[in-house]
Structure 1
Amino acid sequence: MITQTYKERVATDLFDRISSIKLNGHEAEIVSKERNGASVVVLTKRIEDEKKVEHVAIYDELGEVITERYSAVDVSNNRSLDFRFTFEVTD
C-alpha cells in the first residue's frame, strides 16, 4: 500500500517540475499552480485568437513533456480558451 505521505511527495515533485504549457507550440501563461495534499492543479491564462486546438502539452524544467494531448477541435470566433490540468496521485 502506498502511504499518503508518499503520494504527497510525488505530487510535490510533479508540482516543482511543471514549468510551462504550450498550445499548438506557443507558450500559454500559467496563472496558477496549486498543490493540495496529493493533488496538483494548473490553470492557464485565457488565450485569444486560436482557431483550432491541435496539441496541448505540459513541460518540465528541462523542456521534456510531462503530459500531452492531441485533438482537432475547432474554436468558434470571439471565443477564448483556458486550460485546467488536474493531477491526483493515487494507489
Structure 2
Amino acid sequence: MISTIYRERTAADLKSRIDHVLLNGQKTEIVELAIDGATVTVLTKREEDIKHIETVQIFDELGNVITERKTDLDVSENRTLDFRFTFEVV
C-alpha cells in the first residue's frame, strides 16, 4: 500500500509539471490548477465557437503529453465549453 504522504507528494509533483492544454491542437488557457490531498484538478477557460472536438491534450513543462483524449464529438449546439480534468493518485 502506498502511503498517503507519498500519494500527496506525487500529486504535488504532477501539479507542478502541468504546463498547458491543447484543444484540437490549439492552446487553451488554464484558469485553475488546484490540489486537494492526492487529487489534482485542471480547469480550462470557457471557449466559444467550437463546433467539433477531436482531441484534448495536457502537456508537461518539457512538451511531453501527460494525458490525451481522442473523440469525434459534435458540440455545435453548445454556446461555450470548458474542460475539467481530475487526477487522483492512488
Q: Per the shorter chain, which TM-score range? A: over 0.9
Q: CA RMSD in A?
A: 0.9
**Gap regions ≥5 residues in structure 1:** none
Separation in structure 2 between the aligned mates of residue 78 and residue 61 of structure 1, nearest angstrom? 31
Letter in 1 for 2:30: I
Q: For each residue in 1:12-51, what CA deviation from the matched residue of structure 2 results, as whole angstroms up to 9, or x when unmatched?
A: 1100000000000000100000011100001000011111
2:80 is paired with a residue whose SS is coil
User: What is the CA distance between 1:76 and its match in structure 2?
Assistant: 2.0
Residue 39 in 1 paired to residue 52 in 2? no
Separation in structure 2 between the aligned mates of residue 71 and residue 65 of structure 1, nearest angstrom? 17
User: What is the CA distance between 1:75 and its match in structure 2?
Assistant: 1.2
**Alignment-derived partner of residue 23 in structure 1:** 23
**Gap regions ≥5 residues in structure 2:** none
**Alignment-derived partner of residue 8 in structure 2:** 8
Separation in structure 2 between the aligned mates of residue 69 and residue 3 of structure 1, nearest angstrom? 29
Separation in structure 2 between the aligned mates of residue 44 and residue 29 of structure 1, nearest angstrom? 6
Would you identify which runs of 4 or more consecutive aligned residues in structure 1 move more than 3 Å?
none
Q: For each residue in 1:38-84, what CA deviation from the matched residue of structure 2 results, as whole angstroms up to 9, or x when unmatched?
A: 00001000011111000000000011100000000011245211000
**Alignment-derived partner of residue 51 in structure 2:** 51
| Number of residues of Structure 1 aligned to a counterpart in Structure 2 | 90
Structure with greater strand share of residues: 2
1:43 is paired with a residue whose SS is strand
User: Identity percentage over the alignment?
Assistant: 59
